[in-house]
C-alpha cells in the first residue's frame, strides 16, 4: 500500500472520529550486481572503469578481541562515477516529494549473534548533493545522496561471557542505486567480518584512516547496561519504537499531527451526546464539593481527565498490539476482512441512529467512586467514559474495526487524542466551575449529533466495503480486466453521498432547532465544507481513474495484443524510480504521445516493478535490460521490439509509427 493511500485511510477514519465520534585484513565484501569489493588498501582509491555500480565492504576495527571489548565495523560503500543511493531514514534530509518513494539505505546486524551483547545506532556518513530530475517541474534539482565513497559505522559490544574461537559478524546492507537515467532494483547485500575471540588477545585498534571520523562516545551508552544495549539493538534503521510500537517516521509527522487534532475534536464532540452532556455538570460539582480550594479542584480535575484519557488508551491498546504482530497493509488486502470491517461499521452507524442500543450491566451503574483523592478522581474519570458507552460505544466499535488496518502508532495516536478531546471539558470546568452554567442542555441538538455521527459512520462503511470489493475483483484477473474505469471509483461516490446527506441533515435540523444566527451560520459552514470536500475528492479520484489508461502488464495480455496486430508499449516503472516518474510525466503523459497512446490499435501497458517479485522483472531481463526506466514498443512493423531507457516525445512517436509499419525504425 502506498504511503499516500495509507495517510488517506488514516485521515478518513480520523475525520469520522471528528464528527462521529581492527584491521582491514581478511574482511569480506559484497557488491551491487556483480563482483567483490576492493582490499582495504584501495578503500579510497579512484573508481575503475570495470567496477560495479556499488561496492560494499565491511572492515573491522580490530581482528582479535577479548570478551567485553568494543568492536566497530566500518561499512564502506564505493560508487561508480555518476551513481548514488538514497540516504538513511535516520537522516531526515530529503525533500518531502522525494522522501515519499525513496528506498532508503539500511544497515542491520544479522542476528545479532549471541556473542554480541549490544549493537549501537549506525553512524551514517554526511550525504552529498547530487543532481536528479525535478519531480515538481522541468529541469533538475540537487538532493542529498550517498555518492563517491561513503562510510557508515556500526558500533557493537562483545559479550563479557563470549566463548573464545573464530567467529564471523554478518551485516545486511540494503540500498537502491541510480544514475542520471537508470535506477537498478533495490537489493540487499550481505557482508561478513571474521574476528577471533581470545581472552589473552591484545589486538590494537586499526590505524586505518577509515575510522578517523568515528565518534566513540556511543560506547558510553552501550556500556551503561544491558537494558540500554538491548534497546539499541532492537532499533530499526528506518523507525523507532515505544514499548514495541513503531513510531512514525519524520516525513509523516504532519499527517500524524493532523490526525491527532481531528481525533481530539471528535473526542470533544462525544461530550455532546445525550449520555454524556447531562452528567458533565454533576461530575464537576462532585469535584468542587471535595476540593477545599480552586487549586485542589484543578488537581482533581487533572486526575479525572487522565482517567477519561486512560479509558480510550485502554480501548485502543489491544488493537495496537494486534497490529504490531500483523502487517496492516496485508490485512487490508484480504477482501473478506475489509468487507467485514465495513459491515461492522455499517451496523454501528445504524445502531447509533436508534435501530438498536447498547445496554450496560446494572452493576456498572452501581460503581460510584469518590472524587476526593487523586486515585478516586482517576477512577471517577474512567467511569465517566464507561457510562457514556451507550451513546458513543458505536463510534468506539467502528474505530476499533477500522483502525485494525493501521500501524500501531497511528492507532494509539487516534485513541489517545480521542481521550484528550473528551477529557478537555472536565479539565477546563474544574479550573473554573462557574462555566458549568454555560453548558447546553440535552435535547434535539444532542440527538442531532448522534444522527450525523451515524451517517458519517455509514460513509466510512461504504469506503471499506468498496475497497473490499475491489480487492476481491483484483484476485480474479478476468474480472479485473473487464472492470470499467469508473468501477474503481464508484464507492467513493457512495462515501460522498453519505457525507452530503449528513451535511444537509445537519443544516436542516440546525435551522429547525435554533433561531440563533451564530449556530446556524457555523454549522451550515461546517456542513457545506464537509459535503463539498467529499464531492471534490470523489470527483478528483474519478478524473484520475478516467485518465489512467495504462493496462497492467501480463505476458498473456501482451501475447494476445501482439496476435491482434496491436502496437504495444510497455512502461517498466516502480514507485521508487525517480527517473521513471519524470519521464512518464514529461513524455508519456503529454501530447502528442498521450494522444497516440489513446488511439485505436495502440495498447499501453505498465509493468510495475515496485515489488522484487513482480512478473515484469522476468520480462525486463528477457529484453536484455537490468534497470529502469525502460520503454519497450512492439508492433507488426517491428521485427524486434524497440527499447529505450531515455527517450524524447519525437523518438516515442517515431517508434509507434514504425511499429504500425509507417516509417523506418528510430535509433536507440
All structural domains of the chain with their residue ranges: 22-235, 251-440+461-477, 551-660
Question: 459-484: per-residue pLDDT in tens?
Answer: 888 888 887 787 777 666 566 556 67
337-341, 389-393, 646-650: segment of lowest average pLDDT: 389-393
Q: What is the bridge-based pairing of β-strands 106-109 and 245-246?
A: unpaired
Q: Is 272 helix (H, G, I), strand (E, B) or coil?
A: coil
* 172/192 Cα distance (integer angstroms): 9
Q: Which residues pair with 596 in a beta bridge?
A: none
Place of cell 470527483: 539
Distance between start and end Cα atoms, the chain: 35
What's the grid cell of residue 498?
453519505
32-36, 287-291, 433-437: segment of lowest average pLDDT: 32-36
365-379, 517-531, 601-615, 620-634: segment of lowest average pLDDT: 365-379
Contact 519, 510 (CB under 8 A): yes
DSSP 86: B
Higher pLDDT, 345 or 512: 512
What does the DSSP assignment read for 172-208? EEEE-EE-SS-BPPPEEEEEEEEEEE-TT--PPPP--
* Percent of the chain scoring above 90 in pLDDT: 20
* 610/631 Cα distance (integer angstroms): 16
* Percent of the chain scoring above 70 in pLDDT: 71
Q: Which residues pair with 104 in a beta bridge?
A: 86
| CA-to-CA separations, 22 to 116, 164, 382, 479, in angstroms, rounded | 16, 17, 58, 61
239-243, 379-383, 547-551: segment of lowest average pLDDT: 239-243
Contact 572, 616 (CB under 8 A): yes
Which DSSP helix (H) or strand (E) runs through 342? Answer: helix 335-352
Question: 205-230: per-residue pLDDT in tens?
Answer: 555 678 888 888 888 777 654 433 33
55 has a pLDDT exceeding 70: yes
425 has a pLDDT exceeding 50: yes
Buried-state track 421-452, b at ≥16 Cβ within 10 A, e below 16: bbbbbbbebbeebeebeeeeeeeebbbbbbbb
134-148, 196-210, 226-240, 255-269: segment of lowest average pLDDT: 226-240
Query: Stretch 604-619: mean pLDDT, rounded?
Result: 84
What's the grid cell of residue 602?
495502440
Question: 254-312: per-residue pLDDT in tens?
Answer: 667 887 888 888 888 877 766 666 667 767 777 777 666 778 888 888 898 898 899 88
- CATH placement of domain 22-235: 2.60.40.1250
What's the grid cell of residue 660?
504500425
Q: Provide the pLDDT for residue 398.
A: 60
**Which CATH architecture best describes the domain 551-660?**
3-Layer(aba) Sandwich (3.40)
Q: Provide the pLDDT for residue 513.
A: 86
Amino acid at each position: 500500500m502506498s504511503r499516500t493511500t495509507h495517510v488517506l485511510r488514516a485521515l478518513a477514519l480520523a475525520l469520522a472520529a471528528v464528527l462521529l465520534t581492527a584491521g582491514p585484513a581478511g574482511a569480506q565484501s559484497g557488491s551491487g550486481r556483480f563482483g567483490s569489493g576492493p582490499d582495504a588498501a584501495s578503500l579510497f582509491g579512484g573508481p575503475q572503469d570495470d567496477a560495479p555500480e556499488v561496492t560494499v565492504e565491511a572492515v573491522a576495527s580490530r581482528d582479535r578481541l577479548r570478551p567485553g571489548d568494543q568492536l566497530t565495523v566500518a561499512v564502506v560503500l564505493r560508487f561508480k562515477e555518476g551513481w548514488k543511493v538514497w540516504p538513511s531514514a535516520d537522516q531526515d534530509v530529503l525533500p518531502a516529494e522525494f522522501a515519499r518513494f525513496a528506498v532508503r539505505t539500511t544497515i542491520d546486524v544479522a542476528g545479532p549473534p549471541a556473542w554480541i551483547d549490544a549493537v549501537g545506532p549506525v553512524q551514517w556518513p554526511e550525504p552529498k548533493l547530487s543532481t536528479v530530475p525535478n519531480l515538481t517541474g522541468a529541469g533538475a534539482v540537487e538532493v542529498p545522496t550517498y555518492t563517491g565513497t561513503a562510510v557508515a559505522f556500526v558500533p557493537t559490544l562483545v559479550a563479557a561471557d563470549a566463548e573464545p574461537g573464530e567467529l564471523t559478524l554478518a551485516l545486511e546492507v540494503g540500498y537502491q542505486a541510480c544514475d542520471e537515467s537508470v535506477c537498478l532494483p533495490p537489493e540487499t547485500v550481505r557482508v561478513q567480518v571474521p574476528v577471533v575471540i581470545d581472552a589473552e588477545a591484545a589486538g590494537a585498534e586499526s590505524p586505518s584512516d577509515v575510522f578517523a571520523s568515528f565518534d566513540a562516545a556511543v560506547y558510553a551508552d552501550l556500556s551503561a547496561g544491558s537494558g540500554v544495549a538491548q534497546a539499541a539493538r532492537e532499533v530499526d534503521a528506518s523507525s523507532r519504537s515505544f514499548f514495541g510500537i513503531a513510531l512514525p517516521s519524520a516525513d509523516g509527522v504532519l499527517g500524524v499531527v493532523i490526525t491527532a487534532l481531528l481525533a481530539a475534536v471528535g473526542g470533544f464532540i462525544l461530550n455532546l451526546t445525550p449520555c454524556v452532556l447531562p452528567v458533565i455538570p454533576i461530575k464537576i460539582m462532585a469535584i468542587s464539593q471535595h476540593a477545599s480550594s480552586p487549586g485542589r479542584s484543578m488537581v482533581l480535575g487533572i486526575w479525572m481527565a487522565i482517567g477519561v484519557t486512560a479509558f480510550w488508551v485502554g480501548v485502543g491498546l489491544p488493537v495496537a498490539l494486534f497490529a504490531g504482530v500483523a502487517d496492516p497493509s496485508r490485512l487490508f488486502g484480504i477482501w473478506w476482512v475489509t468487507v467485514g470491517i465495513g459491515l461492522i461499521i455499517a451496523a454501528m452507524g445504524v445502531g447509533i441512529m436508534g435501530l438498536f442500543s447498547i445496554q450496560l450491566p446494572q452493576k456498572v451503574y452501581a460503581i460510584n467512586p469518590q472524587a476526593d483523592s487523586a486515585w478516586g478522581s482517576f477512577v471517577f474519570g474512567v467511569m465517566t467514559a464507561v457510562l457514556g458507552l451507550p451513546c458513543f460505544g458505536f463510534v468506539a466499535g467502528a474505530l476499533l474495526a477500522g483502525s485494525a488496518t493501521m500501524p500501531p502508532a497511528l492507532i494509539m495516536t487516534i485513541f489517545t487524542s480521542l481521550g484528550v478531546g473528551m477529557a478537555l471539558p472536565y479539565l477546563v470546568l474544574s479550573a473554573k466551575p462557574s462555566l458549568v452554567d454555560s453548558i447546553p442542555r440535552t435535547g434535539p441538538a444532542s440527538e442531532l449529533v448522534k444522527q450525523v455521527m451515524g451517517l458519517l459512520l455509514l460513509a466510512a462503511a461504504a469506503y471499506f466495503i468498496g475497497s473490499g470489493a475491489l480487492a476481491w475483483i483484483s484476485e480474479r484477473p478476468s474480472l479485473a480486466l473487464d472492470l470499467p474505469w469508473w468501477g474503481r471509483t464508484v464507492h467513493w461516490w457512495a462515501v460522498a453521498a453519505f457525507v452530503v446527506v449528513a451535511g444537509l441533515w445537519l443544516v436542516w435540523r440546525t435551522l429547525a432547532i435554533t433561531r440563533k444566527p451564530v449556530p446556524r451560520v457555523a454549522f451550515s459552514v461546517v456542513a457545506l465544507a464537509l459535503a463539498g470536500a467529499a464531492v471534490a475528492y470523489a470527483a478528483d479520484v474519478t478524473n484520475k481513474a478516467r485518465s489512467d489508461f495504462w493496462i497492467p502488464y501480463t505476458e498473456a495480455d501482451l501475447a494476445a495484443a501482439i496476435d491482434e496486430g496491436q502496437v504495444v508499449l510497455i512502461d517498466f516503472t516502480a514507485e521508487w524510480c525517480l527517473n521513471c516518474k519524470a519521464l512518464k510525466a514529461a513524455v508519456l503523459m503529454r501530447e502528442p504521445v498521450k494522444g497516440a497512446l489513446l488511439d485505436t490499435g495502440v495498447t499501453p501497458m505498465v509493468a510495475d516493478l515496485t515489488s522484487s517479485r513482480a512478473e515484469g522483472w522476468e520480462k525486463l531481463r528477457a529484453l536484455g535490460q537490468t534497470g529502469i526506466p525502460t520503454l519497450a514498443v512492439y508492433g507488426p512493423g517491428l521485427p524486434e521490439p524497440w527499447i529505450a531507457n531515455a527517450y524524447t516525445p519525437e523518438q516515442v512517436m517515431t517508434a509507434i509509427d514504425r511499429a504500425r509499419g509507417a516509417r523506418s525504425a528510430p535509433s536507440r
